[in-house]
């Protein structure tokens, strides 16, 4: 299904939703419930939803008595190991209200770069969706190294959208849309629609998340949106607070149009019977 406008999101058959660490951890852990409400509503109307959720490291930090995101890999891995378990528990606890079961999917960059694990990941998630299970995807921080990381979960979400041939990718953050420059700066204007192939020349996008616990910013969302759009997936960038409106096709956020579908090959002209007899 090709989605070429926000209004089409409500009728999408398969949607990938990505939420960042700052939106669902620490003081914002309570936002998991309304996020689940929106996903459950889409699930109830038959949409297949995949959730890509950051937050394992941020969720684990308090249990390691850490006040700031660790900079060394071993401590990041330890925090992720503790936090991933708690993060999935919080999602499942909220999903229980709708009798929806979550399935955990942890990936490394190598899993999606190599044919065999890539095929296995696709098969597993397709089966989870067939069974009406909600796949919750995150980077496997406990085993990933600096050399084999996705870099940020916006990119992971775009790759998952490509892997699953998703109709729509919804990238959530703390900001309601992408802006022509950092939104706190004078003259910043929201971007409403981005045509496929628009290079967005002259615009300035920040590269660091505002809350300090995530790794992505506006620039990573632009890159991820372009990657997904190239594969034929429409993209909406908006805030976690607006996820329900986003999944219902409301006029919110920044919409990236997907690459046009390749036209179906024309049927060959019927053979001239006289030619065939000659």
pLDDT tens per residue, range 181-190: 888 889 899 9
Q: What is the CATH number of the domain that holds 183?
A: 3.40.1160.10
Is the pLDDT at 6 greater than 50? The verdict is yes
- Hey, what's the torsion of the CAs at 60, 63, 67, 70, to 10 degrees? -50
Q: Which residues are annotated as a binding site for ATP?
A: 18, 173-174
Q: Mean of the pLDDT values across residues 23-41?
A: 95
Residue 93 forms part of a structural domain: yes
Q: Per-residue pLDDT tens for 39-58?
A: 999 999 999 999 999 999 99
Using the 8-state DSSP alphabet, how is residue 177 labeled?
A: S
What is the predicted pLDDT for the residue at 278?
43
pLDDT band at 15 (very low <50, low <70, confident <90, very high): very high
pTM recorded for the entire structure: 0.89
Q: Which residues are annotated as a binding site for substrate?
A: 54, 141, 153
What is the predicted pLDDT for the residue at 269?
55
Q: By C-alpha distance, which of 226, 221, 275 is closest to 52?
A: 221
Q: Which residues are annotated as a binding site?
A: 18, 54, 141, 153, 173-174
Residue 89 forms part of a structural domain: yes
CA separation for the pair 40, 180 (Å, rounded): 33
197: left (phi over 0), alpha (psi -120 to 50) or beta: left
Residue with tokens 């096709």: 249
Residue of 121 and 274 predicted with greater confidence: 121
| Residue ranges making up the domain that contains 80 | 6-277
Residue 278 token pair: 């000659």
Residue 243 forms part of a structural domain: yes
Using the 8-state DSSP alphabet, how is residue 139 labeled?
A: E
Residue with tokens 């179906």: 264
Using the 8-state DSSP alphabet, how is residue 106 labeled?
A: E
CA separation for the pair 120, 123 (Å, rounded): 5
Residue 86 token pair: 């708690």
Average pLDDT of the chain is 89
Q: Per-residue pLDDT tens for 82-117?
A: 999 999 999 999 999 999 999 999 998 888 989 999
Residue 203 forms part of a structural domain: yes
What is the predicted pLDDT for the residue at 145?
64
Residue 1 forms part of a structural domain: no
Residue 132 forms part of a structural domain: yes
Number of domains forming the structure of the chain: 1
């Amino acid at each position: 299904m090709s989605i070429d406008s926000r209004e089409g999101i409500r009728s999408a058959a398969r949607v990938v939703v990505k939420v960042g660490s700052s939106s669902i951890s620490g003081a914002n852990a309570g936002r998991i419930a309304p996020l689940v409400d929106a996903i459950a509503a889409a699930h109830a109307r038959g949409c297949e939803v995949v959730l890509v959720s950051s937050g394992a490291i941020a969720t684990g930090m308090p249990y390691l008595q850490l006040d700031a995101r660790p900079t060394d890999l071993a401590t990041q891995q330890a925090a992720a190991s503790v936090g991933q378990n708690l993060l999935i528990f919080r999602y499942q606890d909220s999903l229980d209200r709708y009798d929806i079961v979550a399935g955990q999917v942890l990936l490394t960059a190598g899993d999606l770069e190599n044919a065999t694990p890539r095929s296995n990941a696709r098969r597993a998630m397709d089966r989870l969706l067939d069974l009406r299970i909600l796949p919750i995807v995150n980077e496997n921080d406990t085993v990933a190294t600096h050399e084999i990381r996705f870099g940020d979960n916006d990119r992971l979400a775009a790759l998952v959208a490509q892997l699953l041939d998703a109709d729509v990718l919804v990238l959530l953050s703390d900001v309601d849309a992408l802006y022509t420059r950092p939104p706190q700066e004078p003259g910043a204007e929201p971007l409403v629609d981005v045509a496929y192939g628009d290079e967005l020349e002259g615009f300035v996008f920040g590269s660091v998340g505002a809350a300090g616990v995530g790794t992505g910013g506006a620039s990573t969302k632009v890159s991820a949106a372009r990657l997904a759009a190239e594969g034929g997936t429409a993209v909406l960038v908006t805030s976690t607070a607006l996820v329900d409106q986003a999944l219902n096709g409301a006029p919110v956020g920044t919409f990236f149009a997907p690459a046009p579908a390749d036209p179906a090959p024309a049927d060959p002209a019927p053979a001239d019977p006289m030619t065939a007899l000659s």
